[in-house]
Structure 1
C-alpha cells in the first residue's frame, strides 16, 4: 500500500532504513517525556480517578467503568483503561502517565503513516519528497510542548486514547483510496466500516471522537478530491461525511440551543463564549509555534471573557479572511486551506458554544497537525534557493521545538518547581495558587509556607474567596484566635462577590471538621452558617448545582447548632432543586432518624423513585438498602453524606 514499484522502499534494506528516522523521533520524544512523568496528580485526576482506590471487586470495577461523569457518554473505554492501575492507586500514578506517553508515541506513528499515505495518493511521482514531508510533520507534531498536558495530566488519557482510535479509523479510511480504482465497492465498504467502527470506539472514549468523520471529509474534499472514482462512490462517500458534519452543526446551532441564554453556572452565554474563543484560538497557535517552556500548565481558570466587540471581531475576521484567501488559492496550493479547516474541525466541539471552561491546552492535540503537515509541505515544495534552505530551517526549528519540549517536561516532572512556576506565571488562577499551597505542605510538611503562598496571591485575585478560606484553614493550626477571626472576617467580606469555585465549597468540609474538633477557635458553627448564607445570596452561586452544594453545607451547620427546622428547610430546598443528589437524601434520612421521624425518612426515600438512574449513585438497590436501614432503626453513615462525590460536583470537563 505504501510502496510503488519504482520506489526504492521496495528493497528490504531501504524499507528498514525508512523506519530509522521514525524510531529516532520516538526515542527522542519518549526521553523528553520521561522527565515529566514524575509529576503530580491534578484536580481532574483527583476527582475522576479517586474511585480507583476503592475498587475491590468486579462489581466495584463495573461501577467505576459505567458511572463516569466526564462527559455525556461516560467515557467507559477510557475508564476501563485505568482499571489495571487500581491495585496501588494513587501511588502508581507515574505508571499511568507512562501509559499515556506510550499512547502519544503510538499516535505519532499513526500520524506519520496517515500523512505519508495521503502524500503518496496526492502525487506518486515524488514519493521521496512525500516521505520527508510526512516525517517532518510527524516530528514537529510529536515534539510540540502544547501537547504535553495531554499525556502529563493523567486523566487526559481519554484525549490521547480517543485520538488513537480515531487515527486508526482515518488510516483505514485513507487506505481505501488505494483500492478505489480497481475495486471501488470494496474500497467504499472498507472506508465506511473502518471509519465507523473506530469512530464509535473514539466516541465512547471521549465525545470529541465525533469529529473524526469530519477530519475524513477535510482529507477527501481538500487533498484527495482529484482521485478518479465512479461518481456514485464519490457522492455516497462525501454525502455520508457531509451528513455527519451537518448533524454536528445542527447540534451546535441556534436551532438546537439558545446561544443567548445566560448560564448562571458558567457566568456567560454560548454566544459570549463563541466570541471569546476566536481570541483563544489565536493564542493556541502562538503557544504551538512560538512556545516558551514556562507557558504550559494545567491551570487556565484565569482566562476571562473578551470585553467589547473589537477583539472578537478582529480575531474571527482574521480567520475568515485567511480561510477565504486559502480557498481562492486552493488549486495552486491546498495546504493553507487544509491546515485551517483541520484546525477548525479539531475545535468544533470544545471551542465553540458548548458551555465548557474557556481554555485547555489538550483541545489542540490533533487540531494542530494540519498546520504541521502544511508547514512541512510548503518547506519541501519551495522553489529556487529555498528548495534547500527551507528544509534546513525547518530542521533547526523542529530541534528548537524539541528542546522546548524537554524544558517543559522537566518543569512538569518537578512538582514543587512546577507549582511555583504556574502560580508565579498565573497569579490570578485560584487553582494554580491552591495547587502551590498543597505542594508546599506535601513537600515540606509545614503549613507556614502554604500560608505565605496563599497570602501572597490571594490579594492579587479579585473574588478568590477560596484562597482566603484555605489560608484561614491553615491559620487554624498556626495562628492565634485574634488572627483567625480577622481572616474569617475577610472570608465573609469577600464571599459577597466570590467567584464560582468548587474549591471554596470543598473548603467547607475541613472547616466543619476543625470547628467540630474545637481546633479553630474562636469560630463556631454559627460563623460557618453565616458564610453559607452569604454564598446563597451571591449571584455567582445561583446555578442549581452550586446552590444545592451550598445548601448541603448550610443544613449541616444549622443542624450542629440544634436548629433542625432550618436544616430541614435547607434540605427540602436542595431536594426541590436536584432530587437525584444522593448526599442530600442521606443527610435527610440521617437527620430525620435523629429526630425520631422514621416515616418521614421513608417518604423522602420513596420520593426519589422517580429520579432513579439520573445519577449513577441513585439506584433502586441503593434506595432499597436505605429503606431496610430505616426499618431496622439504623442511620446511614454521615461520612457518605459529608464527602463530596462526583454527582455532587457541577464541573464535568471535556
Structure 2
C-alpha cells in the first residue's frame, strides 16, 4: 500500500511539473506580445489582404512560394487569420506560441517513449526523462525566433507534426503485442500522416522517415523490432521507401548545384557553403548548449563565408570536429549509445538546410528539430550517472533549466524594444542587410533621419552592389535634397547593372507603387522617378529573365501608370505581369481596370486567355475557374449597368 501511495504521489508530482512547465513556457513567450511583422512576412503573407471568401482563401493556400511544395498546411493556418494581417501581429504570435506548446507535449511523449526502451520496468523514470528533455527544448532561447518571427510558423508547425509522427512511431514499438491494431494505426498515422502534414507545412518534414530510421537503427533494441507482416509492410512503404526516394532526390540535385553554382542570388559559391556549414553547425551547438540573449536574432543573413580551409582558421577545426565526434561516438556506442544517437539525429535533421542546397547560410530556427536529439542525449546522460552522484547532477540540471528560463525571459521581455534590439542585432552581425534595414526604420520612427541614412549608407559601403540597399537610399532625402539627383543616378546605375539578385527589391517597388503617398520622407521621389527605378531593374537581364520578378515589376509599373492616369498603359502592364507569371489576382486587377475604362471587348478576350492559363492541378484549376466565373458575372452586370447609363445619357465612370 505504501509503495502504491508513493507511486501515485510521484505521478501526481510529474503531472504537476508538466503543467507548470507548460504554463511557464506560455508565460515567457507571452512577454513578447504584441510582437511585430518582419521583412520575410510580407512576401509570403501579403496575399492575406486579398482574402474575402472561401475561394480566395483557397487560392491563397494553393499559391505558396516559400518552398517547392507550397507549404499549404502552414498557409491555411494563416488564411484563417487573414483579418489579423497586417495590423494585429499579436493574434498571429498567439497561434505561434500555441503551436510551440503543442510541440512541447509532442517532445515530451517522444522523449519518454525513447527512454522507456532502456527503462522498461520503471513506470516513472522515462516520464521524468521525457519531462526534462521537453522543458529544456521548450525553453531553449536559441529556438525563440522560430515562434517570435511570424512567418516561421511554417517551421514550428512542421516540427509539431514531425515530433508527433516520431512519437507515434516510437510508441508503436512499445505497444503490447496483443494490441496489433493499435500498433498498425500508430505506425500508419505516425509515418504516413506525420510525414505528409509535416512536409506540407515545410519541406523539412520529408526527413521524418530518415529520423525514424535513425531511431530504429541506433536506439530501439532488437527485441522490440516489429516482425509481423503488416508492421513490416507499413515500415517498408512509409519509412524505408520514402527514405530511399529522398536520398536519390537529394543525390540527383548535387551535380547541378555544384556545376552551375548558385548564380547571382547568393553571395557565396557551393564550395564556400560546404566549407562554412561545419563552422555554423558548431556555432549552433554552442548557443544551443550555452545560450546568450545576443545570439537570439532574426537577422543572420550574410553570415561571413569560409573561402578556404584556413580562411578563417577555425574552418579546418570545424571540418575535423564533426567526423572526430562521430568517430568517438561510434567508439563509445556500447557504453554511451545516447551520444551517437544525439549526434546523428542532430546532423541528419540539418541535412536539407545545412548542406549543399543553396539556402541562406545561417538561421537559428533550423535547429527546432535537430535540438531535440541534442537535448535528449544530454538528459539521458545525466540520468545515467551513478546513484551516488545523481543528487548533484539533478541539482545541476535544475540550475541549467533555470538558466534557460532566465535567458528566454531576457529575450522575450525585451522583444518589443525595437531600437535597442536593432542596435544589438546589427552589432552581432554587422553584415546583415535586413538588420541594417530594421535599424534604419527604428531611427525613422524616432525622426532621426540622419541616423537612418547613415545606417543604410554604411550598409551600402559593405554591399555596394546590393540593389535593395541602394534603392533604399532614395527612401529618405530629408536635408539632402540637393544630393538627390546624384543619388538617384547612382542607384539607377546599380539597379541596371548589378550582378546580385534580390527579389525583395522588386517586391518593395511593388509595395510602394500601391501607396498613394509613397515617399513621405523624400518628395523628390515621385511616381515618375519610381517609374524610372522600375525600368532600370527591368533593363537588368538578371531580373528581366526571371518570370516571378519581372511579373512583380510589370505589376508595379501598372499601379504607377494608374496613379498618373495612364490607364491604357496600366492595362498593358497588368497583362504583361500576368503573362510573365499567371496570377489570377493580377488578372482581376487588369480586367477590373479594362471594365472601368469601358473596354469590355478586351475584358472578355483576356478572360479567355486567363482561363487557358489555369493551374494543372485539379484543385487549383477548380478554384481558378470558380473565381473566374464569379468575376465574369460581376463584369457582365457592370457592363449592363454601364449600357443603361449610356442609354440615359450618363457618362460611364461619372
TM-score normalised by L of structure 2 = 0.80
| 1:435 lines up with 2:438 in the alignment | yes
Q: Using a 3 Å threshold, how does the CA distance of structure 1 residues 152 and 9 change in structure 2: closer, same or farther?
A: farther
CA contact (8 A) 1:147 1:361 kept: yes
RMSD of Structure 2 on Structure 1 (CA): 4.3
Contact 1:35–1:413 (Cα < 8 Å) also in 2: no
Deviation, 1:269, is 6.5
Q: Decide which of 171, 174, 180 is 1:175's aligned counterpart.
A: 171
- 1:148: how far off? 0.5
Aligned pair 1:80/2:81, yes or no?
A: no
Query: What is the CA distance between 1:76 and its match in structure 2?
Result: 3.2
1:613 to 612, 615, 622: 615
What CA distance in whole angstroms lies between the structure 2 residues aligned with 1:124 and 1:6?
A: 22
Matched, 1:226 2:222: yes
Give the Å deviation of 1:94: 0.9
Does the 8 Å contact 1:39/1:414 carry over to 2? no
Alignment of 1:324-363 (within 5 A): 324-363=327-366
Counterpart contact for 1:485–1:523, Cα < 8 Å: no
Q: Distance in 1 between matches of 2:570 and 2:78?
A: 40
Task: Output aligned runs, 1:269-288, within 5 Å.
Answer: 273-288=273-288
Pairwise CA distance, 1:97: 1.3
Give the drift of 1:335: 0.9
Cα 1:274/1:238, change in 2 over 3 Å = farther
1:247 maps onto 2:245 in alignment = yes
Deviations 1:196-239 (A, max 9, x none): 23333333333322222332222222111333456456855654
Alignment equivalent of 2:473, drawn from 444, 459, 471? 471
Q: For the residues of structure 2 that align with 1:327 and 1:555, how far apart are their CA atoms?
A: 62
**Which whole-Å CA distance do the structure 2 matches of 1:175 and 1:450 have between them?**
55
CA distances 1:273-332 after superposition (whole Å, capped 9, x unpaired)? 445433322222122123220222222222254323557665454323322332232222
Q: Does 1:262 align with 2:261?
A: yes
- Indicate the residue corresponding to 2:486 in structure 1: 486
Match 2:427 to one of 424, 427, 447: 424
2:501–2:543 contact (8 Å) kept in structure 1: yes
Which one is further off, 245-254 or 535-544?
A: 535-544
In structure 2, the CA distance between the partners of 1:87 and 1:583, relative to structure 1 (3 Å rule), is closer
Q: Which moved more, 1:81-90 or 1:142-151?
A: 81-90
Check conservation: 1:273, 1:353, Cα contact below 8 A: yes
Deviation for aligned residue 1:252: 0.9
- State the secondary structure of the residue aligned to 2:334: coil
CA distance change for structure 1 residues 7 and 75 in 2, over 3 Å: closer, same or farther?
farther
CA distance in 2, matches of 1:480, 1:224: 68
- 1:630 CA displacement: 11
Deviation at 1:253, TM superposition (A): 1.0
Per the normalisation by structure 1, the TM-score is 0.80
Give aligned pairs, total.
626
Q: Aligned-pair distance for 1:365?
A: 0.7
Q: Is 1:369 aligned to 2:372, yes or no?
A: yes
In structure 2, distance between residues paired with 1:600 and 1:83: 33
Following the alignment from structure 1 to structure 2, what is the Cα–Cα distance between the partners of residues 428 and 256? 28
The residue matched to 1:258 in structure 2 has which SS?
helix
Measured at CA, do residues 6 and 174 of structure 1 come closer, stay the same or move farther in structure 2, by a change above 3 Å? Answer: farther
Do the aligned residues in 2 keep the contact of 1:498 with 1:538 (CA within 8 Å)? no
Q: Do 1:481 and 1:522's aligned partners in 2 also have CA atoms closer than 8 Å? A: no
| Conserved 8 A contact 1:172-1:194 | yes
- Partner Cα distance (1:9, 1:349) in 2: 49
Shift of 1:56: 3.7
Query: In structure 2, how many angstroms separate the alpha carbons of the residues matched to 1:32 and 1:259?
Result: 42
What is aligned with 2:549? 546
Determine the structure 2 residue equivalent to 1:138: 134
Tell me how far 1:375 sits from its aligned partner: 1.0
2:187: which partner in 1? Answer: 191
**Given the superposition, is the C-alpha separation of residues 430 and 627 from structure 1 closer, same or farther in structure 2, using an over 3 Å criterion?**
farther
Provide the C-alpha distance between the structure 2 equivalents of 1:419 and 1:401, rounded to a whole number of angstroms: 23
Which runs of 5 or more residues in structure 2 are unaligned? 641-654
How far apart, in 1, do the equivalents of 2:526 and 2:584 lie? 29
Distance change in 2, residues 1:6/1:591 (3 Å): same
1:200-219 equivalences in 2 (<5 Å): 200-219=196-215
Instruction: Quickly say closer, same or farther: Cα 1:448–1:8, change in 2 above 3 A.
Output: farther
Greater CA drift, 533-542 or 356-365: 533-542
Is residue 505 of structure 1 aligned with residue 506 of structure 2? yes
Aligned to 1:37: 33
TM-fit CA distance, 1:486: 2.9
Q: SS at the partner of 1:227? A: helix
Distance (whole Å) between structure 1 residues aligned to residue 84 and residue 166 of structure 2:
36
1:502 offset after TM fit, Å?
3.5
Maintained 8 Å contact 2:41/2:151:
yes
Question: Equivalents in 2 of 1:64, 1:574: separation in Å?
Answer: 18
For the Cα contact (< 8 Å) 2:507–2:552, is it kept in 1?
no
Q: Deviations over 1:309-359 (max 9, x none)?
A: 557665454323322332232222111111122112322333334443333
Counterpart in 2 of 1:302? 302
Contact 2:584 2:610 in 1 (8 A): no
Residues of 1 paired with 2:508 and 2:479: CA distance? 18
Pairing of 1:111-130 with structure 2 (within 5 A): 111-125=107-121, 129-130=125-126
Aligned partners of 1:103 and 1:161 also within 8 Å: yes
Residue 474 of structure 2: SS of its match in structure 1?
helix
**1:346-393 CA-partner distances (Å, limit 9, x unpaired):** 223333344433332211112111111111122222348754444433
Q: Is the 8 A contact 1:580 1:614 kept in 2?
A: no
Q: 2:401 aligns with which of 386, 398, 401?
A: 398
1-side partners of 2:322 and 2:92: how far apart?
38
Cα 1:77–1:330, aligned 2, differ >3 Å: closer, same or farther? same
Distance in 1 separating the partners of 2:57 and 2:534: 39
Q: Distance in 2 between matches of 1:579 and 1:73?
A: 18
* Greater CA drift, 347-356 or 331-340: 347-356
Q: 1:103, CA displacement in angstroms?
A: 2.3
